[in-house]
Amino acid sequence: MSSNMLNAIKNIVNNPIGELRSFYTSRNRANSMGDALENYIKDVFAGTLQESDEQKRIEQFSQVFSYLGNQNNPPDMIIRGGDAIEVKKIENPNSALALNSSYPKYKLYANNRMISNVCRECEEWEVKDMIYTVGVVSGNNLSKLFFVYGVDYAANSDVYERIKNVVSTGISSITDVEFAETKELGRVNRVDPLGITYLRIRGMWGIENPAKVFSYIYKPSNADFEFTAIINTEKYNSFPSADREKLESMTNDCFSLSDVNIKSPDNPSVLKSAKLITFTR
């Protein structure tokens, strides 16, 4: 079974769940709001929101996802033969996203040093489109959810690699210290006379959340729950026509699909066509 963002959007509209923590705690699937949000994203992509049999739910996950990750290495999940997904939880709609040691990804590459070998070998792949799913939580409730592709949100990796390399090169130019190979910005060994102390130098990346980045086309509502997705038209048209037709034929009064123009992350003077999808409850 395959899945994609359009399937997930349809599942969100047809099965809106605001009180995430109570929904997943009652099924013994979450201990925290972060766990509940990640489980929700899995369920909307796998079509298992209403599946009460945990064994059937797990079997469906195995069919839909080739990789379900861990918190230390991006991404959080990969759709089998499809996109990679990163889940981010924030508690304030104006908060930035903490990415820690991993800079934002416009695409995910199999040769990226920050992903695990299990992720790299989960299926035959070289590059994946990256979906950022950002949930705003208030107490036990999910108040806002934003889906956006990395290619519409983050610059080309060369932009971030250049900064990272300049910093790493500057650190490595320090004289009279011993450097070690590392995936981080740098590591200095044998700092003290006994040679027993080391220094790890890590990057702490962050990015403004999509609601702020796309404020020129997105206007927040006062609804209890608000969902927003932005998909560039080229990507949207790559989905199966049947999935596009199902989404476009939805008659829910609180659902909207419109054409917009968004700024290119690499050159804001260049606009590209996209779909803006919203749903409120």
Question: Per-residue pLDDT tens for 94-106?
Answer: 999 999 888 999 9
Summarised one tens digit per residue, pLDDT across range 259-270 is 999 999 999 999
pLDDT for 164: 82
Q: What is the pLDDT of residue 188?
A: 84
Chain centre to alpha carbon of residue 11: 18
Low-confidence ranges of the chain (pLDDT < 50): none
Distance between CA atoms of 264 and 213, rounded to whole angstroms? 12
pTM: 0.92
Question: What pLDDT score was predicted for residue 20?
Answer: 87
Q: What angle is formed at CA 20 by the lines to CA 16 and CA 23, rounded to 5 degrees?
A: 95
Q: What is the DSSP string of 4-52?
A: -HHHHHHHHHHS--S-HHHHHHTTT--SSHHHHHHHHHHHHHHT-TT--
Give every CB contact of residue 7 below 8 A, 6+ residues apart in sequence: 45, 47, 243
Q: What does R_g of the chain's alpha carbons equal in angstroms?
A: 20
How confident is the model at residue 225, as a pLDDT? Answer: 94
pLDDT at position 32 is 86
CA–CA distance, 150 with 231 (Å, rounded to integer): 10
pLDDT of residue 196: 86
Q: Give the pLDDT of residue 1.
A: 61
